[in-house]
Structure 1
């Protein structure tokens, strides 16, 4: 047995660790005087090894962590038990010569100050670690709670917990301790939360109930089931229901996840939707614990091939006709026209028994026409407003994007609305009104009222540090074939956004936007065809370097209102008040400084142009 003692401080009363290797695969770290954290050195290129804090709590399970072998990319904190009692950490599979054994540290603090050049300045993101789907979003007592899929032990997917942030204005977010920790049932996958005003579940009035999927693998086979936890302190902490799991698939389907619970007044019942491979299943309950199967929707509908995930279900009143209709959000992976994951929706009717869409099975409607809009779900208990937030990434390359401190961010909050165009119902997404509070100052733009071939403003964006909002209202002449704008920097990085009036499209092209080569490391789903996304995308180079587009047929009239938000590593475009939304990641090597406007084939009238510096 090899023993190595490490002193973490030169003080005489310093906490110490003893590292023991009882055999070739197991390492035991005995911590004699614990501090708050054990800081684990991470090397992303290494395979995962198993780490656990030895204890009798359900959350003291084996974690999959990429501990450093040759060099250190960053540290992550492993929280030790409260108090100063001795603690033991075990590691399986890490070679004795790994640099981790020399560099592992004890500390009472962990530095989460922003160091990542690409971490957004005004969008929600965790202070460190990996984030994907938003979960359990709920509004209670003036506070918006945003839970999310979270891996606090690395910048790649794994070790799924529910992270937690809260806000009073949807803009300024406070980060909290983990809300739900993985346990013996497995990872804590996605779900939603509701306010049990009447105490129907038996945990008391106004309890917050969180429904989530437990995910595990047994004998190489995936197992997923729905579970329940409740909070009696306004969502700060949760207690898992002793009767978990509360719902398992009746046919043994392995992809059975992401519960969405909602109230259906005509039946005076609670309903749950669960994604089950390529369909959504409806269940009904009177007590929020026992659930009975009702029906299913989705087989053969929408974009294919795909895996249905992260459903949402709500009513919207059509702003065009005044009629109220049901909307089903279906996040799919793969299935995006440009490759990978995307958010699809269906509009139709629901009678408590089945959902019937208005569209034919082969029709796919997209909530966002970018490549980095996924897992959008809406807040519970927001009254007449339907407010959604997406995860901004794509499963093709989410694990290899060039972030260094936190990998994963959310899009701006957006109010969803329903409108009719040419007899078809569509869902739009406009930035929530709270977003205007981000405007710190309006920046002067010197632009003519008519755009000819080109207007170039070399320093228009200088000093904004890629955190700005640009609003344009323009009317192309009858002969105009293309009108657009280009953001660029001195390194040649550029982001063109243009209206192709001949093809009736609006396009955002990120093929020269900055760092793009990591797209060659993308891992498309095995159901996906390269030919498909090459065909449907524009200027396809790799799975990241691609241009995305939306049909201008969703707009009305010949005047176009564009609202563009840029925040370091992301660009969100809203057209005609949200009839078109387009969200894409970008990684410029230096902030964009130059703004160029151009018009081809004819002039374009510029009615207004407003530029704002944004910040918290």
Structure 2
């Protein structure tokens, strides 16, 4: 079929149960040049929903479109998405970011740029399964309420847009800035050979930049800034390291190996060293803390295994063995925000839940503040919900200083909740929440949920458990964030209560606080 692009989107009818097809678009020209191809579960007979593909960059051009395997279909165009009941769908998360429609995974390019938080993310606008990687984009002023923006990075002849990071080029060392403020730089992996358009290409590290505050991005014409190092190298994280006076790129190489590269101009990179994080891979993050007047750096991988180290003699020198922060397979690829003016380290992770919501299967985590603490066995990392979450508190129930002689039950509404439980470290107990049971086992020093086990305490002095409950998840933080996990739990609102039962009568409940959270979709401030 032939289509002349006159509007912003083409609307594609999708059914998650249909067979995947490849849609190919050629520009009508003497040599019929391929300009775009992607995989989708196209269904012209009985679609479940419509995906919207931004084709504004082809406005005014006539494209030829066909599917492989071939089928009969039509495409319509529109300037606005028709999404009835948006953010009110069954199982849509109430306090976690999700795109309007489509697949989401790794957070990318997290940056606070002149008072606005920018969150980019791996995004498939063509359906609710992984593939066709773009960089989605959302902005916020409080890290809680997000406004979804236009797609920032589209696949091209170098590949699909894999994960990466963002910084502000404060000194304009790249020479790409045109204004009084430094340009916003996006560093990403171009994943070659994932599309027909990028057939035969390898994975390389590339750069895009914006001189209008992140409204639009231009890909650097000198890409790639780092060619192939190893076959699967990907996910560049860029930071400034004062101790060596250079920019540093942490890059996943292969197996459990990461490479550290340095640059003075953010364009030319040289290998500094290689490091291993046992049983870890992908999506490195790197951030600095001051502890007892000394700078410590945390290098952490996608599954939250991390090293604490220092820069000494121009190299990263680990000071600890590998440690584990998260104890769940549902958290992945955490990334921290650059440009934080208040000195905090804030990060978010992808929560890969396979939710039953038709339009979106995954969500981002609650933003967490990261801290480095000193312990008897050396430094360790903590992750805890940001203080700003209190802005969502709608009402509160609280119990203080009670001896548990019988089960305690609190009525709940169909809403998200922030719950904190502090008890003496004695007998175990169970916490039932919307039909799901967390078993607090002090004999094994863990919170048990099915087969998952989350440590409770580093010193076994008290039980301190915090739970953020949303439509399809329970985020559990123990010992003020020393241990945490996201649990896939579809809340059953037929069972609207919290019930706490102690294994031994007389167990001291120090505090039980239950905050109902207002939905972030109530009123979203435009940024």
**TM-score normalized with structure 2 length:** 0.89
Larger radius of gyration: 1
Report whether the alignment pairs 1:450 with 2:450: no
Q: Distance in 1 between matches of 2:508 and 2:100?
A: 44
Q: Match for 1:105 among 58, 76, 85?
A: 76
Please state whether the residue corresponding to 1:309 is helix, strand or coil: coil
Match of 2:93 in 1: 120
Q: Match for 1:357 among 291, 294, 318?
A: 318
Q: Distance in 2 between matches of 1:505 and 1:291?
A: 44
Q: Distance in 1 between matches of 2:190 and 2:337?
A: 22
Using a 3 Å threshold, how does the CA distance of structure 1 residues 63 and 439 change in structure 2: closer, same or farther?
same
Match of 2:48 in 1: 73
Deviations 1:413-466 (A, max 9, x none): 111001123222210011111111111222x46788111353344xx11x2x14
Are the aligned partners of 2:23 and 2:68 in contact in 1 as well (CA < 8 Å)? no
Q: Match for 2:188 among 199, 205, 212?
A: 212
Between 116-125 and 157-166, the greater mean CA deviation after superposition: 116-125
Report whether the alignment pairs 1:264 with 2:233: no
Q: Distance in 2 between matches of 1:322 and 1:550?
A: 32
Match of 2:349 in 1: 390
Give 1:221 deviation, angstroms.
Answer: 7.1
Report whether the alignment pairs 1:226 with 2:179: no
Deviations 1:314-364 (A, max 9, x none): 21234xx56431110111xxxxxxxxxx2211112223643232334xxx4
Between 122-131 and 556-565, the greater mean CA deviation after superposition: 556-565
Using a 3 Å threshold, how does the CA distance of structure 1 residues 82 and 356 change in structure 2: closer, same or farther?
closer
Deviations 1:111-154 (A, max 9, x none): 23125312211111111111100000111111110011111110
Match of 1:143 in 2: 116
**TM-score normalized with structure 1 length:** 0.77
Report whether the alignment pairs 1:64 with 2:18: no
Match of 2:525 in 1: none
Q: How does 1:50-449 map to 2 (within 5 A)?
A: 50-55=22-27, 60-68=35-43, 70-81=45-56, 85=60, 87-96=62-71, 100-101=73-74, 104-112=75-83, 113-204=86-177, 205-217=181-193, 223-250=202-229, 253-277=230-254, 278-298=256-276, 301-303=277-279, 306=280, 308-318=281-291, 323-331=294-302, 342-351=303-312, 353-360=314-321, 364-383=322-341, 384-393=343-352, 400-442=354-396, 444=397, 449=402
Q: Distance in 1 between matches of 2:111 and 2:76?
A: 37
Q: Distance in 2 between matches of 1:429 and 1:196?
A: 28
Give 1:49 deviation, angstroms.
Answer: 2.0
The alignment's C-alpha RMSD in Å is: 2.6
Q: Match for 1:505 among 443, 446, 456?
A: 446
Give 1:572 deviation, angstroms.
Answer: 1.0
Using a 3 Å threshold, how does the CA distance of structure 1 residues 238 and 575 change in structure 2: closer, same or farther?
same
- Gaps of at least 5 residues in structure 2 are 521-527
Q: Distance in 2 between matches of 1:71 and 1:473?
A: 52
In terms of fraction of residues, the more strand-rich structure is 2
Using a 3 Å threshold, how does the CA distance of structure 1 residues 85 and 248 change in structure 2: closer, same or farther?
closer
Please state whether the residue corresponding to 1:234 is helix, strand or coil: coil
Match of 1:558 in 2: 461
Match of 1:486 in 2: 432
Using a 3 Å threshold, how does the CA distance of structure 1 residues 84 and 191 change in structure 2: closer, same or farther?
closer
Q: Distance in 2 between matches of 1:591 and 1:325?
A: 48
Count of residues in correspondence between the two structures: 506
Give 1:498 deviation, angstroms.
Answer: 2.7
Q: Distance in 1 between matches of 2:219 and 2:9?
A: 25
Q: Distance in 1 between matches of 2:54 and 2:228?
A: 35
